[in-house]
Amino acid sequence: SWVGNYRVSQPLLELMAAGRVVGRMTYETATPVEIERQSPDVIVFQGRYTEAKVPDIELAKNYSSAMRIF
* pLDDT tens per residue across span 6-28: 788 899 999 999 999 999 998 88
Reported as a pLDDT band with limits 50, 70 and 90, residue 68 is very high
Q: Is residue 17 part of a domain?
A: no
The domain of 70 spans: 24-70
The pTM of the full predicted model, rounded to 2 decimals, is 0.80
Q: Is residue 48 part of a domain?
A: yes
Q: Is residue 68 part of a domain?
A: yes
CB atoms within 10 A of CB 56: 16
Q: Supply angle C-alpha 24, 33, 8, rounded to 5.
A: 20
Q: Is residue 61 part of a domain?
A: yes
Q: Is residue 3 part of a domain?
A: no
Reported as a pLDDT band with limits 50, 70 and 90, residue 48 is low
Q: Is residue 12 part of a domain?
A: no
| pLDDT at residue 1 tops 90 | no
Q: Is residue 60 part of a domain?
A: yes
Q: Is residue 19 part of a domain?
A: no
State how many domains the chain has.
1
For position 8, what pLDDT does the model report? 87
